[in-house]
Amino acid sequence: MVWTRKDLLGLEDLSREELEFILATADSFKEVSTREIKKVPALRGKTVVNLFYEPSTRTRVSFELAAKRLSADVINIASETSSVKKGETLIDTGRNIEALKVDIIVVRHNYSGAAAILARHVKASVINAGDGWHEHPTQALLDIFTLKEKLGRIEGLRVSIVGDIAHSRVARSNIWGLTKLGAQVTVCAPKMLVPPAIEEMGVRVTNDIDEALKDADAVDVLRMQFERDEGNAFPEQLEYFKNFGITEERLEKAKKNIIVMHPGPLNRGIEISSGVADGANSVILEQVTNGIAVRMAALFLVAQANENISHEDTH
């Protein structure tokens, strides 16, 4: 197939064919990171700006490495050290960055929909690196890529997503991606952390962690986002770990080869024990490694699509 989307804003709008195409493209890029010289010329002459309005370590560094391994020039902008502190809007910032002749803007923002707003106002490609509680498409794609790599398929897998579902953009993107590719998804959390009507996304809901782990092929453990607990609705940390934490004891009752994933950063002793995070079932660091290949694929595809669109506009 030919990729035609200028932007990558979420997985909700993507077809199964498009999801599989991104995963296949990522697979073709993965071996680049194993070379002695970890670089290909695919985006030579292109400029990528990482525009981050929220703190990030893994995602920002992963996008930067991905762009550099495609030979792009990379500029990192954090809102704390930019004109945003002087009151500049997202659209004005985006237009000014575009005026510097950049080709791709990778944006993380604390408001849902921010990436889509930016994409409507600039001709550069926009990749959503996480917007509010909405979506985090490249995190979900690297989760799915890792699952497929470890288990050989997505169709028919039972995947449980455990934790702060209500505030999680990772959960939403994973649900869209996994269900479109044929996985059976269960979400598990305390009732106050399960958003209303989430069953309409095609998932099963349970508040029983042992039930969520039973027969699951993989469990994706989400970080408890205590910084978003404005109404003090969250359970106490020790209470949460007792009732929903992924521990060695709970894992012993699950499938022997269950895959344990986590998007990071980890809250050890709150949503996951150190024994599980560092144990034989964990693929957490493999997720980080795979993130580079997935983001190389995303950058490459949107750049190609935008180039084709620009070429058509001039004829």
As a whole number of angstroms, the distance between CA 159 and CA 231 comes to 30
Catalytic residue among 136, 158, 180, 295: 136
Sign for the CA dihedral angle at 4, 125, 16, 256 comes to: positive
Query: By the 8 A CB rule, do 246 and 221 touch?
Result: yes
Instruction: Say whether 136 is catalytic.
Output: yes
Residue 180 annotated to the active site = no
Backbone angles phi, psi at 76, to 5 degrees: -105, 130
Identify the active-site residue in 58, 68, 150, 204: 58
For residue 35, indicate whether it is catalytic.
no
Which residue is catalytic, options 85, 86, 311, 315? 86
Catalytic position from the list 25, 47, 59, 138? 59
Q: Does residue 150 have an active-site annotation? A: no
Active site annotation includes 311: no
Residue 113 CA neighbour count, 13 Å, CB half: 1
Residue 239's CB is within 10 A of a number of other CB atoms, namely: 12
- Active-site residue (options: 46, 108, 148, 262): 108
| Among 194, 176, 174, 186, residue whose Cα is nearest residue 262 | 174
- Residue 154: partners with Cβ closer than 8 Å, 6 or more residues away: 144, 147, 148, 178, 181, 182, 183
Tell me the C-alpha distance between 288 and 74, whole Å. 20
Q: List for the chain the helix, strand, coil content (%; round to 5).
A: 45, 15, 40
Give catalytic residue positions. 58-59, 86, 108, 136
